[in-house]
């Protein structure tokens, strides 16, 4: 039997694996377990490393309890041959009553700038949906940045806002 790890632990392990995989190599791991009560657990991981220093790793853990409830956790990490890096992690849960929730986040940085984004979504058993996402992006060339927020509610619709800043932090007009 294997132990289901947290999404943070999974992301950290995948990041380390991507850094230490031999050049131009790939590895894959898949483990599954089914219990007599109908519960299942499955884990998959893939690591690749290119000949020019790029690397990628991703993994997913899926569990169900045999009662109609299930969850999936996934993470990925990338490193480009020119130093750019990106990470993403997410968790989705579905309940037997039809309700569901999702949370995810990503970050990336490279010679052009950086971006960080996180969000969540929920659906209750009656089908009502709420969603939100916040994103910040910064340009390396100018130091300017944008902070945006989007939300959705099935009862009231979509709401979006964005604020832009110059390199000193003063508010500027978004273009």
pLDDT for position 26 = 65
Tens-place pLDDT, residues 29-47: 788 888 888 889 999 999 9
CA–CA distance, 66 with 46 (Å, rounded to integer): 27
pTM of the model: 0.78
Confidence of residue 27 (pLDDT cuts 50, 70, 90): confident
CA–CA distance, 73 with 11 (Å, rounded to integer): 10
Average pLDDT over residues 60-79: 94
Q: Which of 28-32, 76-80, 88-92, 112-116 shows the lowest per-residue confidence on average (mean pLDDT)?
A: 28-32
**Which of 166, 167, 158, 150 lies closest to 175, judged by CA?**
166
Percentage of residues of the chain with pLDDT beyond 90: 69
Confidence of residue 114 (pLDDT cuts 50, 70, 90): very high
Percentage of residues of the chain with pLDDT beyond 70: 85
**Which of 44, 96, 101 lies closest to 66, judged by CA?**
96
CA angle 69, 71, 75 (to 5 degrees): 175
In this model, does residue 12 exceed pLDDT 80?
no
Residue keyed to tokens 């690749």: 48
Tens-place pLDDT, residues 149-163: 999 999 999 999 999
Give Cα 32 distance to the centre of its chain.
Answer: 22
CA–CA distance, 120 with 90 (Å, rounded to integer): 9
Average pLDDT over residues 80-109: 96
């Amino acid at each position: 039997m294997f132990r289901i790890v947290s999404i943070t632990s999974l992301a950290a392990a995948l990041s380390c694996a991507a850094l230490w995989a031999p050049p131009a190599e790939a590895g894959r791991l898949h483990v599954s377990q089914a219990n007599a009560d109908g519960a299942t657990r499955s884990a998959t991981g893939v690591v690749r490393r290119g000949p020019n220093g790029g690397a990628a790793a991703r993994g997913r853990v899926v569990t169900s309890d045999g009662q109609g409830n299930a969850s999936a956790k996934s993470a990925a990490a990338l490193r480009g041959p020119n130093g750019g890096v990106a990470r993403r992690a997410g968790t989705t849960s579905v309940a037997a009553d039809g309700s569901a929730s999702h949370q995810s986040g990503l970050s990336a940085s490279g010679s052009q700038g950086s971006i960080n984004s996180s969000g969540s979504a929920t659906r209750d058993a009656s089908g009502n949906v709420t969603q939100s996402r916040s994103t910040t992006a910064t340009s390396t060339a100018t130091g300017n940045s944008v902070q945006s927020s989007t939300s959705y509610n099935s009862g009231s619709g979509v709401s979006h806002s964005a604020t832009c800043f110059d390199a000193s932090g003063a508010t500027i007009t978004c273009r």
